[in-house]
Amino acid sequence: MEETLPISAQSAARRWLSAWWPYLLVLAFLVLFPLLAGVTIGDPTVAQEGTGSLGNLMLRAESGAAKFWQGMIIQILIFAIFAMSYDLLLGYSGILSFGHAMFFGTGGYAIAILIGRNFDWPFGLALAAVIVIALVQSLVFGVLSLRVKGVYLAMVTLAFAEMFYILAEAGDFRVYTGADDGLHGFPVPAYLSATDHRTRFYYLTLVFFVAVFLIIKRLVDSPTGKVMVASRENENRATMIGFNTFWYKLTAFVAAGVFAALAGALSALYKVSVTPSMLSLGRTIDALAMTIIGGLGTLVGPVLGATIIQLLGYWLERWFGPSWTLIYGIIFMLIVIFLPYGIVGTLRVRSFRLKEGWKQLQQTLAGK
Amino acid sequence: MTSIWKNNRAALIIVALTVVILGGIIQTMEPKVWVSIMLSGATLASLYFLVASGLSLIFGLMDVLNFAHGVLFVLGAYVGLSTFLNPRLLFNTLPIFFVLIASIMMSQHLGRAFWSRITDTRTRRIATVVLLAAAVGLVLLALRGFPMRALNAFNITAVGGLVTTANAQDPLALMLRRLLLLALGGVPLGLLLSPAERPEEVSLRPVWQTALIAGTSALIGILLLVWRDSGEVWMLALSPDVRFILALIMGTVAGALGGVAIETGLIRPFYGNPVTQLVLTLGLSIAGIDLIEAMWGEEANPPMPTPSLFNESCRSDSIIGWFSEHCQSVDVVGRAFPTYRLFIILVGVLVFIGVGLMLRRTRLGMIIRAGVQDSEMVQALGINVRRVFTMVFALGSALAAMGGVIAAPYLGVFPAMGSIFQLQAFIAVVIGGMGSFIGAAVGTVILGMARAFGDHFVAAGIDLPFLDTVIKGSPAIARASTVLIMAIVLLVKPSGIFGKKE
Amino acid sequence: MTTAPHNILEVRNIQTFIGQFHILDGVSVDVPDGSITVLLGRNGAGKTTTLKSILGLTPPRAGQVVFNGREIQGRPAYRTAAQGIGYVPEHRAIFRDLSVAENLRIAERKPGDLARREEFIFGLFPDLKRLIRLPGGNLSGGQQQMLAVARALVPENELLLIDEPSEGLAPVVIEQMMEAIRRLSAHTTVLLVEQNFIMASRLADRYTIIETGRSIHSGLMADLVHDEATIQRYLGAAA
């Protein structure tokens, strides 16, 4: 007994490692990125006397291209959170929402307004309030929208989101929302300022990202997640087996809403500005595009999609100037037409075929 | 009679309730106030209806929610505006479309021979990509440096200042070279769209017929180009009324063609995959507006001038007086109301009656109504449903584009006008019930009235008995509150007032 | 009835997929001209899919469908139907919002079809004449089934595919329906799907048994009714 235990523990660890190593590799890269960037593309002239080598490295990470690319990754991670939350809806639960930006924007506005001059709440309290607001908001609109299905739900959620967009733009609440200008320069706590402490903000976002990733992964692997997928595949059957699919969909809707609000709040803190466009259909389309391009119903897909779209947007804007959105739209449509399963999905189909082919080859070689 | 009551009980109750609420509101007002508010509401309802009816028909028949419907509305408005004010743009751009279409039509005949030679899927895929690249490359090459901005810089559209026609357009030789390149670019496009890829769908016409149609199309294109200068002078000399009718026709036709293009390119290959269709039209709703901005500029244009029938600066005492005086406004129970808006209402009513009669009385209408319930069964009766799909898509798109044209003198022309109307049309259709033509009409009327009364009350202030302050707000509040109506209807009857499908 | 020398329809070893599901894995059916042929088999065996594959609503991936000597597999359903195949789907898919008259008129392939066949149709189903103005959705189940059959009779069809005409009907109505099918079969060939073995055995000349997507047995109905073993084995309690 005592001899076999360590072996099984060892093999368990190995199994765990073999399942998780790609994730760990990416995570290691993300954790080390500020340091690596500091060494390679940071500005060497910022080094100061008497701060030690690690201190100097941190200074270099806060400068030049290193700082810029950390910002890029921060935005990618924020959008990855947003896209993962969207995939929880569309990919795992089959809920086609065109109003997901409503949570993203509300999260951003909530944190901006609560720590702003009207309320001046402490940061921690404001962040807690954002989660509570998102909970209530997604509960209310989830209950309303989930009464319908399919494209109806798409239209209805779109209409709800548009309502928030119109209200954010309206002049009536200028004191709070800043109308069509949005809010800029609200007092983000100094220790979180992304301009002064880029690396710190980077790690904060990374922690949030990893936490959301693990929570969603846990959720979709749990029995609850299985029912979500089951009701996506065949709602009638899931109902017949005895599951009240409404509650499972609502769970997905609320979880997605809260994570999207979190992404919105992070985005607001990073940019120190919120604009009505955070609530617009365009944001939802971003999430949709990231999810679809990466691959529906996978968690890696949206992350990959967020990376691609963020970088693509950056380069397209540099190459084509203001008309880049046109190119973006066309590329988006082409990807939907030619890669219907997204990148991860297509790769999986491929590797599945490869595996099948490999099996067949082995069988032929074995003379069967 | 009893069956009508039984089948539409919820619908009748909601309509009656709306009437009662309206009646209650009206009680507190002077007639001249509520009549003009209701006319404003009807104007909006008419425009909403032109967008919503097509949306609803298209969804009902083919289960496609066309997110690009608003783009067609904007397209109609811009094409109408250009026809009305800036014909040189048409004379320089229409040939491009005529020649491209001619080339695509002809090369579809090559398609069968081309694709039948390539049998394995891998080569097919490579060929597709190569053709696509060739098509995009040739078209881009053909259109490189096309003086869109200069052509647009005309009279009241102050984009880039006023540029005279002689300076704005490309020399004829250059334009012909462009057309030649486009004709070449149409060949790979035609191969890509060729029926041989999906042989079960389309039956080709005989070659001579295609050649005749394509030849005529190309000839019209070239003639338009050759006669562009005299054509422009001739068009601008026409009376504004005639030009308005031309604008209406051009805008509507542009919408119909746009609809056909969307249906054949983005919808038809993906029947049975609704999410892809939805996402594609969604992508188009963004890219299409970008394209329109690239062509006509991002700036908002001032309203298109109203046709002279509605443009004399006077106020008629009654509609009968307007027939001889052509005044801007007409007296309606003691208040002036713009006659052009009455025209908008009239168009909405005429379209409602016209399309309604088409649905009730013609064989096509019968097929559409049957297809809304079960398009597979219609197919099994020996009817080519796909062709009906395309026709209905064209019809719905044409209606939306027509709405864009008649909205242009009322609202002005700007890229975002489509998304506003599309959203309201969505709400109207959800309220009325997807797929129901009557539902679209009722939904838009409810929405139009709600908007008009909402705007009135929000601007005048609502004095609630339990609050000290009077609630006032901007029109945005009224616009947002229409969503509440939708939420209420959804809670009561998720499929909408006249909706049967879930 | 004498069996005609040639088969109006021959289904040869068709394979049909719906999505990823392999529904039909080798179904062959011969339908002699002028006969009533019935497809027998348990629920989910693939009988309905066979009809839909013949028509092209679920096009087969492999195999042939030969109608009047011509291969028609892979053509769009509307063209196959227009060649002279009428379809009466299960669950009586009539158009609920269209009136009875419209339900009939929509099936016309050329103007005047209905006028030509009116007498015959109303002779078979006298009830429909009385209901002609009502919306299809207001009809009773039996009346709807009659309308669905009548609709397939409006154009000159050489072959009718009728899917479960007795499903969910009262015994009296089933008798009526059987009588109607027997009478119309004097004019057209019929390929029937029927779970009700008694009805099937009294109507049909020939049968084909389909089991899990394969046609495994076919022959003359007159032989099958005496073959208790086959009935028990493939049709179970249905007999």
Cβ separation of C106 and B366 shorter than 8 Å?
yes
DSSP labels, B321-386: HHHHH-EEEEEETTEEEEHHHHHHHHHHHHHHHHHHHHHHHSHHHHHHHHHHHHHHHHHHTT--HH
- For residue A342, which residues of chain B lie inside 8 Å, CB to CB? none
Distance of CA B445 to the CA centre of its chain: 19
The count of domains in chain C is 1
Residue C153 domain-assigned (yes or no): no
Quote the CA–CA distance of B235 and B246 in Å, as a whole number: 10
Mean pLDDT calculated for residue range B157-169: 64
Contacts of C151 in chain B (CB under 8 A): 381
**A325 with B427: Cβ contact below 8 A:** no
Q: Which of A95, A141, A151 to mutate to probe the B interface, most B CBs <10 Å?
A: A151
Distance between CA atoms of residues A187 and B436, nearest Å: 52
Residue C7 lies in a domain: yes
Contact at CB, B434 and A96, closer than 8 angstroms: no
**Degrees, nearest 5: CA angle C218-C219-C223:** 130
- DSSP bridge partners of B157: B154
Q: Using the beta-carbon criterion (under 8 Å), do B381 and C105 form an inter-chain contact?
A: no
ipTM: 0.87
Lowest mean pLDDT segment, chosen from A2-6, A121-125, B218-222, B326-330: A2-6
Rounded Cα–Cα distance for residues A178 and A130 (Å):
19
Residue numbers in B near C78 (CB within 8 A)? 379-385
**Under an 8 A CB cutoff, do A171 and B430 touch?**
no
- Where is pLDDT greater, at A64 or B284? B284
Which residues partner with C192 through β-bridges?
C38, C162
Q: Which of A128-132, B28-32, B86-90, B468-472 has the lowest mean pLDDT?
A: B468-472
| Average pLDDT, integer, range A187-211 | 88
* pLDDT of residue B471 exceeding 80: no
Helices (H), A41-100: 52-61, 64-87, 93
Q: Work out the pLDDT band at A366, boundaries 50, 70, 90.
A: low
Q: How many CB pairs under 8 A join B and C?
A: 70
Is B463 touching A (CB cutoff 8 A)? no
Contact C210, C11 (CB under 8 A): no
Distance from CA of A116 to the nearest CA of B (A): 24
Looking at every residue in chain A, the average pLDDT score rounds to 84
| Domain membership of residue C2 as a residue range | 1-84+193-239
Judge whether residue C238 has pLDDT over 60. no
Q: Which of A224-238, A349-363, B325-339, B363-377 is least confident?
A: A349-363
Does B140 contact A at CB distance below 8 Å?
no
Question: What would the pLDDT profile of C200-221 be if each residue is shown by its tens digit?
Answer: 888 888 888 888 888 888 888 7
Record the pTM. 0.85
Q: How many helices (H) and strands (E) does chain C have?
A: 10, 10
Show me where the domains of chain B are located. Answer: 2-75+305-492
Is B266–A282 a contact, with Cβ atoms under 8 angstroms apart? Answer: no
Is residue C213 within 8 Å of residue C44, measured between CB atoms? no
Among candidates A98, A159, A337 on the partner chain, residue whose Cβ is nearest the Cβ of B427: A159
Task: Return the residue of B nearest to C139 by Cα.
Answer: B3
Q: Residue A118 falls within a domain, yes or no?
A: yes
Amino acid C1: pLDDT: 43
DSSP, collapsed to helix, strand or coil, labels residue A47 as coil
Contact indicator for B259, B398 with CB cutoff of 8 Å = yes
| Residue A52 confidence (pLDDT) above 80 | no
CA distance A130 to A123: 10
Measured between alpha carbons, how far is B119 from B110 in angstroms, rounded to an integer? Answer: 16
Best mutation target among B377, B386, B500 (most C Cβ atoms within 10 Å) is: B377
State residue C217 phi and psi, 5-degree precision: -160, 135
Tell whether A47 is covered by a domain: no
Q: Cβ of A337 under 8 Å from any chain B Cβ?
A: yes
Q: Are residues C81 and B369, on separate chains, in Cβ contact within 8 Å? A: no
- Provide the sign of the torsion angle of the four alpha carbons A55, A60, A63, A69, taken in this order: negative
pLDDT interval class at B77 (50, 70, 90): very high
Q: Note the residue count of chain C.
A: 239
CA distance B464 to chain A (A): 18
Q: Would you state the pLDDT for residue A102?
A: 95
Q: Phi then psi for C201, rounded to 5 degrees?
A: -70, -30
Touch test A–C: 3 Cβ pairs or more under 8 Å:
no
Helix (H) or strand (E) holding A247: helix A245-271
For residue B254, give the nearest of B56, B430, B83, B40 by alpha carbon. B83
Interface test with B, best of A336, A338, A346 (most B CBs within 10 A): A336
Q: What percent of chain C has pLDDT over 70?
A: 95
Instruction: Give the model confidence (pLDDT) of B190-220 as tens digits.
Output: 888 765 545 544 556 778 888 898 899 999 9
> Using one digit for the tens of pLDDT, what is the confidence trace for C58-85?
888 888 888 888 888 878 888 888 888 9
Q: Does C78 touch chain B (CB under 8 A)?
A: yes
B244: enclosing H helix or E strand: helix B240-262
**How far off is chain A from B114, nearest CA to CA, in Å?**
21
The CA distance from A33 to A42, in Å, is 12
Are C218 and C207 spatial neighbours (Cβ–Cβ below 8 Å)?
yes
pLDDT, mean over chain C: 83
Q: Domain range holding A228?
A: 78-365
B485 touches chain C (CB under 8 A): no
Q: Which of B312-316, B448-452, B462-466, B476-480 has the lowest mean pLDDT?
A: B462-466
The band of A364, judged by pLDDT with boundaries at 50, 70 and 90, is low
**Phi/psi class of residue A170: alpha, beta or left (left: φ > 0; alpha: ψ in -120 to 50)?**
beta
pLDDT band at C4 (very low <50, low <70, confident <90, very high): very low
pLDDT confidence of residue B464: 62
CB pair distance less than 8 Å for B483 and A163: yes
pLDDT score, position A129: 94
| C80 CA: distance to closest CA in chain B (Å) | 7
> A141, exposed or middle or buried, with CB in 10 Å at 0-12, 13-18, 19+?
buried
Q: Are B372 and B61 within 8 A, CB to CB?
A: yes
Nearest to B287 among A148, A152, A333 (CB): A333
Optimal mutation site among A140, A153, A163, interface B, most CBs of chain B within 10 A: A163
Distance between CA atoms of residues C85 and C63, nearest Å? 19
The token pair that represents C201 in the structure block: 């055995």
Set of chain B residues whose Cβ sits within 8 Å of the Cβ of C76: 200-201, 379, 384, 386
**Interface residue A200 vs chain B (CB under 8 A):** no
Q: Is residue A16 part of a domain?
A: no
The least confident of A136-150, B403-417, C37-51 is: C37-51
Most confident of B149-153, B186-190, B492-496: B186-190
Q: Please state, in angstroms and rounded to a whole number, the distance separating the CA atoms of residues A347 and A275.
A: 37
Contacts of A268 by beta carbon, 8 Å cutoff, 6+ apart: A107, A108, A109, A111, A112, A274, A278
How far is it, in rounded angstroms, from Cα A245 to Cα A242? 9
User: Is the dihedral angle over the CA atoms B380, B384, B386, B389 positive or is it negative?
Assistant: negative
Q: How many domains does chain A have?
A: 1
CA geometry: angle A232, A236, A238, nearest 5 deg: 65
